[in-house]
Structure formats: C-alpha cells, structure tokens
Structure 1
Amino acid sequence: MKYNNTRELRDWVIFIKTIEKANLSLAARELGVSVSTVSKAISRLEDYVQTMLIKRDARNFEITSAGHIAYSKAKNITESFQSLLSELQNPELLIQGDIKFSVPSVVCQLLANHWTSEYIIKNPMARVEIKSQELFEFNHDVKNFDHVALQYGNIQRPELVHRELNSVELISCASPEYIKKFNMLDRPDSFEGHTLLMVDNCNLKDNMIFTKGDETISLDKNHKPSIKSNDFLALFNLLLEGKGLLLGTPKWLALTHIRNGELVQIIPDWKLANIPVYLVWMHRPYYSPLFLDFINYVEKKWNNFNQVYLK
C-alpha cells in the first residue's frame, strides 16, 4: 500500500490520540474531526502495517500488543518530528510562541498575573495563557506540551517532571474584631465552638497537625462549625470580615494585612508543616526555548519573592 507521508503522520497523530482517550468519539472531539475520519485513519495504518492495532466495535475497545508497541514508538517519532519542525522554524532559539501556565487561584490573582505581564514586556514574541486551577490534571495531548503548572502539595503522579520551589510557610490568623469578641486563643485544641475556615483541596487531605516543641495536636479537618471552599480568596475575605479563623494561611498572603493591623496572628508558637511547592509538566523529548526560559523565570520570581518579601 502506497502512503502519502503527510497523511501518514496525521494518521499516527490520530492513532495516538485515540489510544490516549481509549474512545474513537472522544478522540474525534478532541481533534475536531469526525468519528469516521478517526476510524479510517486507524484502518489505513492497520492496512499499512498489516496487523490489527485496536480491536474495536460498538461496545469494546481493546489495544492489541502491536497497538501498545506502535503507540510507544509512534509517540516518540511524532514528538521528534515536532521538535525538528520547531528547530527549523526557530534556528535562532528565539523566545517566541505560546505557553500555558496553571496556578492556584490566589497565586493567579496576586502574583502570576504580574509576573506574566512583566515577562511578555521583556519577550514580546511570547504569549502566555494563565489558567486559574487549584490542581491541574495533565493529559497526554501531543499539542499542549508547552504547559507548566505551579502546584501546592505533594506530587501525586510520578511520571510528571517536577522542580521543587521554596515551600509555603503557613500561619493561623483572625481579625482584630474576632479576637475582641472571642478573646485570644492560645492552643489548637481550644477552637471548640469557633467557626473554622477550611481549605478544601484534593491535594491536601490530611488533618492539620500542629507542633510546639515535643507536643503535637491534630485538628480534624471536618471540624464543626466550619466553612469549606477550594477558593482560598473566598475564605480569606471571610477572615478579613471577622467571620472565622483561618488556620492554614500562607504567610506571604497574610503578612501585609498583619502589618496593617487588619489581621492578627494567633497561636504563633504552634507550627504547621510548610506546604511543598513544585513546577510540574509532562515529559517531552524536546522543550522550546520559550518553555525553558519561562520555567526558569517563574522559579526565580517565586523564590526571590519568598526570600525578600517574608524577611
């Protein structure tokens, strides 16, 4: 069977997407083509290699042994071809193109927006899309390799490439009005009856562990009464309004408000473990000049901010 090289590459891209979605309809939707186009592309590949790659009918979808081998090899080949095109189109290694940057909402609204504004002023041929997401789930989309996320908490997927940044120090806060109403609190186990503002983050599920010297107190994250939210700024605004106690406040966020007298740090002798912070992305055999420059830039901005601002 004779094959058009351009169409062959496109068929392999369709095959890769179909394997990753494990569904012809989902692959078609993701690629913006018809299900028939996907089915014909896979059939052409199977005719070309003379073996079945995917056992498929109306109810079943099963990848054959040959299909698994083809997926692994084809993914490497298409990625290498993509890197070749990128190098040929940009031999001077200019900082240009598109990159997505996913960050928790509080970082997006207060830090990352300013960093990216500064970045594109320095690199006007770059375009940065900021995505406000507490925990971004990377997929294997061959088109979106220039995508990096700043993530709080431990890495859940070992296949993700990650770079550790300075961790986030947590403190506990209340408004002066709340303190006047309920008096100063001195221990984590004295919060019975107080409204706790609790961060509901799927990557931070454990109970809150406070330590003071050799003493340890565990606080149930299902404390009642409490208000939970995955939007940290929503809780922080309630904190400023005196509606409750926020026990895991990033110090970088609370410090200005403490200095201005809008917040008071409570139980300062009781420490919560710092939250680890990472830049994470999917492994690729090739990274664009923009990607490499941008992750170095973000690492420097984050670490410098934490070192200078929190002094």
Structure 2
Amino acid sequence: MPRRLPDLEAWAIFAKVAETGSFARAAQELGLANPTVSKAITRLEARLGVALLARTSRQLTLTEGGRGVLERATRILREGEAAEDEATEQSAAPRGRVRVSAPLSFGIGYMAATLPGFLAAYPEVTLDIALSDRHVDLIAEGFDLALRIARLEDSSLLARRLCTVRLLPVAAPAYLDAHGRPSHPAELRDHRALAYTGGASPGLWRFTHPQFGEEAVTPRVGLWTDNADLLAPALRAGAGLALQPEFLVWRDLQEGALEVVMPDWSAPPLALYLLMPPSPLRPLRVQVVIDHLAQALKEAPWSCEQG
C-alpha cells in the first residue's frame, strides 16, 4: 500500500503553536482561523496516535511525544518559509517575527543600540528579544538565533564567530594603592574578589604567561552574582578585584576608574557568537537580523579582534 504524504501543513502549525505557546497566537501569526489550527493539531495527533500537546483551560504544554518531534517540526516550518521567501517576490520585503536570545548585560549595553537602525530598515520585521544569561535551547524554546559569549563547545547548532571577548582582571586604583598590585596569580589569594557565578568553573581563575605557563587560583570571594554588571559599583568603590569581560569595563579603563592587574598574564578569552538552528535554510526575516547584528557588533569599540 503506498505511503501517504506527510501532513506538512499540520507539522508546521504544530511548530508554530509550540513556539508561541498558544493556539490563538499561532493562528494570528499564521493568518489562520483558530479552528483551523486546532483541527490541524487534532489531525496530526490522530495520524501519529500520540498526544503532542497537553491542554488545560490555563496552560498549553508539550507532552514527551511533542518534545521528541519538535525539532523536526520546527525545521519543516523554517525551511518551508525559507523556500517560499526565495521563490516569491516577498523576498525583497522581509516580514514577520524573529525571536532572539542574548546575554542580559551585553543585550542592554550593546545590542540595544543596534536595534533602532534595524527597525528603521525593516519596518515589517517584528523582533522578540529575550535577555538572560541562561543558555537557552534554541529548538525547544522556539528561538531563531542567539547571541552567546562563551568558549563554544561542540554543538549541532550553526555558529558564526563575531569577535574575541577578553577577560581582564581589574580593580580600582584606590584598592590597589591600599592592598598592593599583584604581579602573579598566586598573590590573588591575599586579595578580596568579586566573582561571577556563570561559566564552567565559577570562582576558579585561570591565567597564562608567555614565559611561566599556566596558573590557576581560587581567590577569597566577598561578593558572588549571576550578573557581572552588579559588580561595577563595588569595583569602582574599591571593594576588591574582579575578572570581567572587556565590554563591561573598557570605558572605566579608559577613564582611569579601573586598571588592569597583572598585565603580563592573560585569562583564556571568550568569543561572541551568533548561534542558529542547524538547518542551512532560514527565512529572509531571520537572515537580515543575522546580517545586521553581525555587522554592527563586530565593530564594537572594545573588540580587540574582528570576527
């Protein structure tokens, strides 16, 4: 017996419902009637013999079966949109919603400044930006792309490297005048540290030297936080030393409010990446966001290396 063609429309509708968390919002974004969306999900579940969504009067959640097929459903939706963009005149005028994840401090400090220019250039594209230092699951949470500052591990995601992000040990001159200027990582144990809880080994600071090799130290921490911006007032007030990304401290360094400690030693750098789902096909509305952010952010004044 010939195998039936897959119900591609229902798969795409399921992906949009999962992305938006709502039948009504999915219908609105797809330009469909609410009953059409509901019937498509019912039709797909009947065909598969498994529930994809758990529905209550207040909440819509993915079942285990729904989570298992979401990545493929999302790929069907995205590749269908990309194919239509390429084949129709609409490719000249990108439109629709693009979901972006970005780190909190970086998003407010640098990404935000790039948005007015984008919105003016692409008035029919709607940006939905979530700021968090949490590493989101792009596929499961329905994001089109993410900015991430990290040492990127092996991943099925596509990654576009924009620039190096140096980590600098810094302190206020007044603090260093009072407590001394360390010249070796081992001396940091005698100092008070202000530390970020993110990263693979929070509180463990690693450094390298061209002559003396590698050193690791666990300083005495007086303040922990999951957002490095919070450390700035304490740093400027002379409360201790911190290992901070350059984009957070470059202005203070220029103005003399902070200075780099142990300039002959360097911490392993991070990098700024644009991460995308694995499919090489992307709707034009997503591609223009990628191109805009890549161009705007690789020219950041604190960047020590172009991507």
Into which bin does the TM-score normalised by the smaller protein fall? Answer: 0.7 to 0.9
Name structure 1 gaps, 5 residues minimum. 1-7, 19-26
**For the structure 1 residues 83 and 305, does the alpha-carbon distance in structure 2 shift closer, same or farther, using more than 3 Å as the test?**
closer
Identity of aligned pairs, percent? 20
CA contact under 8 A between 1:193 and 1:225: conserved in structure 2? no
Aligned pairs for 1:221-236 (under 5 A) are 223-236=219-232
1:195-228 superposed Cα distances (whole Å, 9 cap, x missing partner): 21111114565832112223321012xx433322
CA contact under 8 A between 1:135 and 1:203: conserved in structure 2? no
**For the structure 1 residues 129 and 161, does the alpha-carbon distance in structure 2 shift closer, same or farther, using more than 3 Å as the test?**
same
Aligned pairs for 1:75-86 (under 5 A) are 77-83=76-82
Q: In the alignment, what sits opposite 2:214?
A: 216
Residue number among 15, 22, 25 corresponding to 1:31 in the alignment: 22
TM-score by length of 1: 0.72
CA contact under 8 A between 2:182 and 2:261: conserved in structure 1? yes
Residue number among 164, 170, 174 corresponding to 1:173 in the alignment: 170
Shift of 1:13: 5.0
Counterpart of 2:103, as a letter, is: P
Counterpart of 2:263, as a letter, is: P
**For the structure 1 residues 267 and 72, does the alpha-carbon distance in structure 2 shift closer, same or farther, using more than 3 Å as the test?**
closer
Residue correspondences, number: 280
**For the structure 1 residues 132 and 62, does the alpha-carbon distance in structure 2 shift closer, same or farther, using more than 3 Å as the test?**
closer
Q: In the alignment, what sits opposite 1:184?
A: 181
CA contact under 8 A between 2:102 and 2:133: conserved in structure 1? yes
Q: In the alignment, what sits opposite 2:31?
A: none
Q: In the alignment, what sits opposite 1:251?
A: 246
Name structure 2 gaps, 5 residues minimum. 1-6, 25-34, 55-62
CA contact under 8 A between 2:78 and 2:283: conserved in structure 1? no
Q: In the alignment, what sits opposite 1:198?
A: 195
**For the structure 1 residues 90 and 199, does the alpha-carbon distance in structure 2 shift closer, same or farther, using more than 3 Å as the test?**
farther
Give me the whole-angstrom Cα distance separating, in 2, the residues matched to 1:251 and 1:201.
16
CA contact under 8 A between 1:150 and 1:279: conserved in structure 2? yes
Q: In the alignment, what sits opposite 2:92?
A: 93
TM-score by length of 2: 0.73
CA contact under 8 A between 2:184 and 2:262: conserved in structure 1? yes
Counterpart of 1:217, as a letter, is: E
Shift of 1:267: 0.9
Root-mean-square deviation (Å): 4.0
Give me the whole-angstrom Cα distance separating, in 2, the residues matched to 1:125 and 1:277.
27
Counterpart of 1:276, as a letter, is: A
Q: In the alignment, what sits opposite 1:300?
A: 295
